[in-house]
Amino acid sequence: MVIIGGGHVGLSFALLLAHHGIDSVLVEQSVYPTISPDDDTARTQYLDSRNTALSRRTVQIYERIGLWQSLQSHACRIDSVHISELGSFGRAVLDKKAEGVESFGQVMENAWLGRQLLLAAKANAHITLHDDAKVVNITQDATSASVSVEQAGRAFVLSAPLVVACDGSQSPSRALLGIGTSTHDYNQVGIVGVVQTDKPHQHIGIEKFSEVGPLAVLPLTDGRGDGADDSTAGFRRSVVFICPKGEEARYLQDDEFFLATLQQVFGDDAGRFVQAGRRGAYPLTKILADRQVVGRCVVMGNAAHTLHPVAGQGFNLCLRDADTLAAMLAHEKRQAQAAGKTADLGDYQKLRAYEQARQKDQQRVIKFCDTVVGSFTSKNPVMKFARNVGLIAFDKIPGIKPMVAAYAMGLKS
């Protein structure tokens, strides 16, 4: 099998396949850094990192393939989530004890996740890596798909029964396959980074909704401990801040202004914001592929669906896709072996079955993101009153929280 795109989704998919004994060749356009398991793993960029909230289902997937043990030192669990609307009366709390779960998920530096995925892939005999390699063409026939690659001045072709493209929201592979997209520009920019507060996070995530969009601070591990217990609950927090497009420059360049804005938004809930690290700005656009299967080729990850970051569902949805396809391919391989045959992992009807199997979960998450963004950005006073009543109802009516929590953790799809 050929995988195009060696980011977090592509590497994870390759490792999932390897767990089932399926070989893959992964092609990545960027140059991978030279790393070693013996490298210093200290948090050298204490306030300068992007982060991802991993759902409970995502953690379970990494546990199953034996990767979580190397990841967990930089993972900080979320024990409760406090949800409210800025300047309004509505408020709700999700608590792990009340819902009977170990946690609602874990927050981790993207750099650490990527480092461990790459180390695992390099050490796995089922995975062959080609970095600094550009895909220039994809062709298909009745029995295989072929990927034309340029690398370091040489050209070569990789052929396999199946090609899976995980090469990002602007996916060149998606264009080569002739797959169109539907897009929606939110006219917003997501500003992400890390801040320090004078109050320990106590494993609490705080989400505020505003007329601009969702704003969140999530717990992170500190410079000394892994955040696994109260004694190492640190003062470092991941921030997702949404602003209108065109207004991001001051939030990026002026630390005092950024910290003061966060203080105004979150009040005393997180304590006092005392230091901000380097921040990144990302225009927010929903991009949905018109199709996810063409012949013997599948698009996955942000190439299939790039979503608004509200509730941190994007990467977790991508990993559920990868897990489902890997499991289906493994099942086909076992069935063929039992019959003394060679499995055709690129069979179009089987790939279409995967696409259809994932539609319910994908559409549910897409609808949820659009509903939250649309309802909480409305300035209509009737809508504002209704959503605050809705938050109170969510907090008080029995039976609602467990259902929502299960979906948020990826345990129901």
The HSE-up count of residue 409 (CA atoms within 13 Å, CB side) is 27
First to last CA, the chain: 27
Average pLDDT, the chain: 87
Whole-number pLDDT of residue 373: 74
pTM: predicted TM-score of the whole model, two decimal places:
0.90
Whole-number pLDDT of residue 412: 61
Tokens 């967990």 map to which residue?
Answer: 72
For residues 316 and 409, give the distance between their C-alpha atoms in angstroms, rounded to a whole number: 9
For residues 292 and 299, give the distance between their C-alpha atoms in angstroms, rounded to a whole number: 5
3-state percent breakdown (helix, strand, coil) of the chain, nearest 5: 40, 30, 35
For residues 255 and 51, give the distance between their C-alpha atoms in angstroms, rounded to a whole number: 19
Segments of the chain with pLDDT less than 70: 39-48, 89-90, 212-213, 223-233, 375-413
Whole-number pLDDT of residue 284: 93
Q: Which two tokens stand for residue 251?
A: 């939030």
Whole-number pLDDT of residue 227: 46
Contacts of 396 (CB under 8 A, 6+ apart): none
202 φ/ψ sector (left φ>0, alpha ψ -120 to 50, else beta): left
Q: Among candidates 242, 230, 226, which has minimal Cα distance to 201?
A: 230
For residues 21 and 41, give the distance between their C-alpha atoms in angstroms, rounded to a whole number: 30
- What is the residue-wise DSSP string for 113-180? HHHHHHHHHHT-TTEEEE-SEEEEEEEE-SS-EEEEEEETTEEEEEEES-EEE---TT-HHHHHTT--
Whole-number pLDDT of residue 384: 59
For residues 90 and 185, give the distance between their C-alpha atoms in angstroms, rounded to a whole number: 28
Q: Which domains are assigned to the chain? A: 2-408 (3.50.50.60)
